[in-house]
Amino acid sequence: MPTYKTPNVYVEEVATLPPSVVPVATAVPAFIGCTEKAGNSNEYFGKPIRISSILDYTTLFGGAYATNITVTVDDTEQITEITRGDGSAVTPAYLMYYTLRLFFENGGGPCYIVSIGSYEDQPGKDEFAAGLAAIRKEDEPTLILLTDAVNLINSDDYYTLCQSALKQCNDLKDRFAIFDVLASDRDTNGIGANFRQGIGTQYLKYGAAYYPYLQTALNDYYTEESVTISGLALAVEPQGDDVGEYRTENSELIVTYNGAQSENPQIAITTHPSRTSTVIAIENGVLTLKVPTGGATVADILAAAAAIDISPYHLAAGAADTATILPSLAATPLTYGVADSASTVSLAALKTQKTGLYNTLKTTLNTMRVMLPPSGAVAGVYAKVDRERGVWKAPANVSLASVIGPAVKVTNEEQDNLNVDPTAGKSINAIRSFTGKGTLIWGARTLAGNDNEWRYIPVRRLFNLIEESTQKATSFVVFESNNAITWLKVKTIIETYLDGLWRQGALAGATPQDAYFVSVGLGQTMTEQDILEGRMIIEIGISAVRPAEFIILRFSHKLQQA
């Protein structure tokens, strides 16, 4: 109350409305993994960085990992096999960029990125644990995704990280973890048996798991240098005036032959006058590599040539098998390449040599799509449903964008075992494809599937919302007078907030009294000793709505009445 000493007209504003509860964000995920731009020298390395779009991500962290692809062709230059460099046919080596694409295309918004390394790194459990520790210091994230952790060599390390994420959620009580069941976790013991064994039994109400992986509509990113063609016989185009010369170019062996063709001409390349490394014969107009038993390969020749002065040596027409490198002959130049069925060449080098095959390979490679863990798309659905329907709506029975279908078709019988785990209650949510509907998330359970209070994801996340929102809104009460005036003020603030949620459909009950209660006061929630010790105890009861998981239509015959 101000003290007035000078006669005048004074204006005072009297607050008549109590402070309000502002809902906190509910779907702000934090992704942990490797990015193109990262490293100890990068200012964003190991730090949670907030972004709002895929453009923000590419600007700060770069693009996708260029997949190493090997294309095998036969003698007729028909594609026989396409494999990744690591032999995997499941997912790219690094998932962050693709996961972010799925997240945003399925409705995602602001999120945090924790880069724990670049594409040249192979982070282990300790690096991911450091990423989790960095997220712990941020208040805004409400979802945790262990993006690249599914590619850890040791699956036990992945499960250990999942347990750490659940513990962080329990400690902070303001976030929820989304896990992927590994694609390999399907054996005679059933789907997800290893995940259920490895995830432990602690804090399961703070996490949910999803299966299977998704065949997405996202193109597999590659560069022409990262694509290798194997089994191809190359004919190198003439190199201008460089005739009669043996040299290396683009990691290939190039030989220029001078002189008219004889019936069976041969050229010998030696690394030492006393030793013949290999013999090259001209057959059907193509220089064919002839490797004697135990002799050198193209790679051996190149390696040996690097140790001697080879520029420029000249080759004689029709040289004998044991001939050394001889001076050039003045004759019409003919240029040939080495035909080696075991040789490899990059797609970039093929562009000018075999345009037709190059275009065919480009068309084929551009149809390749990546297979990804479902967590990125699921997190996007969480954000979309929260924004459009509310956090109390189950993030299920929602179709996924940029997804062709699940990598594995889950049957009703298989989902019986995924959805209900009679042993430990560790429910796994299935993603299924339905005719005319697309690919849908077909489950809404936490890992605490046998817990009647915390069985459903929207119930857990609604409590997270209410708990954190009311905690932040009532922080002004700290060190206020612990009396009836303050109690009434706090009770009014919380009841007003809960009434708004009830009217939106978040709480069940025909009346506000059925939907929630707020109690605070001496003799109700506190004793005199509590007040003496500075405690103000507020009890809040909430009747959260629960999803209708099983719709049962009961039919019976009705007898004719007339």
Q: Quick one: tokens of 78?
A: 């028909």
Q: Which of 3-17, 323-337, 366-380, 432-446 has the lowest mean pLDDT?
A: 323-337
pLDDT of residue 166: 98
Tell me what the mean pLDDT of segment 83-91 comes to: 63
Whole-number Å distance between alpha carbons of 354 and 252 = 15
Q: Cβ distance 96 to 34 under 8 Å?
A: yes
- Residue 372's Cβ-count burial label (10 Å; 0-12, 13-18, 19+) is buried
Provide the edge-to-edge strand list for the sheet that holds 278-283: 246-249, 252-258, 333-339, 286-290, 278-283, 266-269
pLDDT at 256 over 70: no
CA pair distance 280, 289, nearest whole angstrom: 5
**pLDDT given for residue 104 in this prediction:** 98
Question: Which pLDDT belongs to residue 114?
Answer: 96
- Identify which of 103, 208, 213 has the alpha carbon closest to the alpha carbon of residue 162: 208
DSSP 524: T
Q: From CA 15, how far away is CA 393, in angstroms rounded? A: 36
439: which strand partners?
433
pLDDT of residue 93: 86
Predicted local confidence at residue 356, as pLDDT: 84
What is the pLDDT, as a whole number, of residue 21?
Answer: 93
With a cut of 70, say whether residue 393 has pLDDT above it: yes
| Overall average pLDDT of the 366-385 stretch | 95
- The answer to whether the CB of 21 falls within 8 A of the CB of 494 is yes
Torsions phi, psi of 343, nearest 5?
A: -80, 160
* Core vs surface per residue 68-81: b (16+ CB within 10 A) or e: bbbbbbeeeeeeee
Confidence of residue 36 (pLDDT cuts 50, 70, 90): very high
Q: How far apart are CA 383 and CA 49, in angstroms?
A: 18
Whether the pLDDT of residue 74 is over 50: the answer is yes
Q: What is the CA radius of gyration of the chain?
A: 34
pLDDT confidence band for 293 (50 / 70 / 90): very low
pLDDT at position 409 is 94
DSSP per-residue letters across 179-242: EE--TT-EETTEETHHHHHHS-SSSGGGEEEEES-EEEEEEPP--TTSEEEES----PPP-TT-
| 158-183 residue pLDDT tens | 999 999 999 999 999 999 999 999 98
Q: Are 262 and 107 in contact (CB under 8 A)?
A: no
* pLDDT on residue 395: 98
Q: How far apart are CA 272 and CA 397, in angstroms?
A: 73
> What proportion of the chain, given as a percentage, has pLDDT over 90?
61
Q: Looking at residues 539-559, what average pLDDT do you find? A: 96
Q: Is the pLDDT of residue 388 over 80?
A: yes
When pLDDT is averaged across residues 430-447 and rounded to a whole number, the result is: 97
Give 371's contacts (C-beta < 8 A, 6+ positions apart).
89, 90, 91, 183, 213, 214, 215, 216, 407
Q: CB atoms < 10 A from the CB of 479, how many? A: 7
- Reported as a single tens digit per residue, the pLDDT across 466-500 is 999 999 999 999 999 999 999 999 999 999 999 99
CB 219 within 8 A of CB 67: no
Helices and strands in the chain: count of H runs, count of E runs: 14, 25
279 pLDDT more than 60 = no
φ, ψ at 403 (rounded to 5°): -130, 125
pLDDT band of residue 284 (cuts 50, 70, 90) is very low
Q: How far apart are CA 198 and CA 165, in angstroms?
A: 13
How far apart CA 407 and CA 432 sit, in angstroms, is: 10
Residue 111 or 274, more confident: 111
The whole-number pLDDT of residue 318 equals 38
Q: Could you tell me the pLDDT band of residue 90, with boundaries at 50, 70 and 90?
A: low
CA distance 316 to 324: 9
CA 494 to chain centre: 39
- At 313-351, the pLDDT tens digits run 333 333 333 233 323 323 323 333 333 334 577 888 778
Buried b (16+ CB within 10 A) or exposed e, 320-353: eeebbbeebeeeebbbbbbbbeebbbbbebbeeb
Distance CA 432, CA 212 (A): 9
Average pLDDT in the chain? 82
Q: What's the CA gap between 137 and 29, in Å, rounded?
A: 14
How far apart are alpha carbons 35 and 496 in whole angstroms?
45
Of the CA atoms within 13 Å of residue 266, those in its CB half-sphere come to 15
For residue 262, pLDDT beyond 50: no
**pLDDT for the residue numbered 72:** 85
Predicted local confidence at residue 69, as pLDDT: 87
pLDDT at 39: 59
DSSP 8-class letter at 447? S
At 332 the pLDDT is 29
pLDDT value at 202 more than 90: yes
Helix (H, G, I), strand (E, B) or coil at 53: coil
Assess whether pLDDT exceeds 70 at residue 295: no
Q: State the Cα–Cα distance between residues 472 and 460, nearest whole angstrom.
A: 19
Cα–Cα separations (whole angstroms), residue 306 to 21, 112, 251, 326, 349: 73, 49, 11, 19, 21
Minimum mean pLDDT range among 274-283, 388-397, 522-531, 545-554: 274-283
